[in-house]
Structure 1
């Protein structure tokens, strides 16, 4: 075994040196749109949202062109909330299926689907649900850490096993502590 060790080390060193600069003509950066991590829906099951089904880029078959002196167009990939949608049902991608701002008192779950764009290694989305009748009572507050490399959906939910008190409510979404979206909704009593 000890007689083979120097030979093995020499073979490994040769293989490593031969591999240096072997793929200089292929791009070193990952394809745009490749997800780093999928968001997790903020609901009691803690079931992760499905990963994006972006196909990887095809391998390069021709050498990369020479570097250009022209600057590429600036792209704004800052992470931000694009839309806030309320409803009583969501699909497999955690997006609300039937947007609504009026619910019945016996609606068991209300979802707030937050669509985001841009990139972030780590951002915190908070949802604050309030009952606005009287003194604006805080009903629920949820927080979710998000990592995204493109469009994503994070869903928050509030549920009541009993009947909701009739009246006006709101949900406010904050991004890293700063308010970014707010949506009012109403619970209708018996008619």
Structure 2
């Protein structure tokens, strides 16, 4: 056999061997089909909006009557009976729901002689309340108050929030 036939035979055997190997190779199975679709990625729900802050409010916490107040606007000696020539003070203790907030308000005091049902005096003030504090109102009559029963209505923003009765003897 000559060289040429030998090379051709070797090539033919190599070619047949390659075809045989390819033909014998196990076929790969396709990846199984998923029976359920992958879960859809849904965005996380947006956080609930923060509630709007409630406006800070003010309230009247104490009401005291007396014939003198200190620098802190508090009655130094509370009492409910006065002499005719006394200056009569009412000290109104206030507080705000948020101690750091400034709350514009209107405080008032209406003084009434109960026996005659007559208004003696009425006064209101625009105030800005912050935290806890005191505001005073007073009435005076140099020639003296008529004896009898009186009351003072304390008002916050136009509404009577507390009433104190007192007497002049």
2:80/2:165 contact within 8 Å kept: yes
- CA RMSD across the alignment: 2.0
Per-residue CA distance 1:133-166 (angstroms, 9 max, x = gap): 12x1000001111112200101000011111100
With the length of structure 2 as denominator, give the TM-score of the two structures: 0.63
- The answer to whether residue 160 in structure 2 is matched with residue 179 in structure 1 is yes
Aligned residue number for residue 92 of structure 1: 71
> Distance between the aligned counterparts of 2:104 and 2:56, measured in 1?
14
How far residue 76 of structure 1 moved from its aligned partner, in angstroms, is 9.9
Q: Which has the larger radius of gyration?
A: 2
Between the two proteins, the alignment pairs up a number of residues equal to 114
User: What is the correspondence of 1:40-189 to structure 2 with a 5 Å cutoff?
Assistant: 78-107=57-86, 109-118=87-96, 119-134=101-116, 136-188=117-169
Specify the SS of the correspondent of 1:147: strand
How far residue 77 of structure 1 moved from its aligned partner, in angstroms, is 5.2
1:129/1:140 contact within 8 Å kept: yes
Any runs of at least 4 consecutive aligned residues in structure 1 with deviations exceeding 2 A, and if so which? Answer: 74-78
Per-residue CA distance 1:106-149 (angstroms, 9 max, x = gap): 21x11000000004431001100000112x10000011111122
* Unaligned ranges ≥5, structure 2: 1-49
1:79/1:120 contact within 8 Å kept: no
* Unaligned ranges ≥5, structure 1: 1-70
Identify the structure with the greater helix proportion.
2
With the length of structure 1 as denominator, give the TM-score of the two structures: 0.56
How far residue 78 of structure 1 moved from its aligned partner, in angstroms, is 2.3
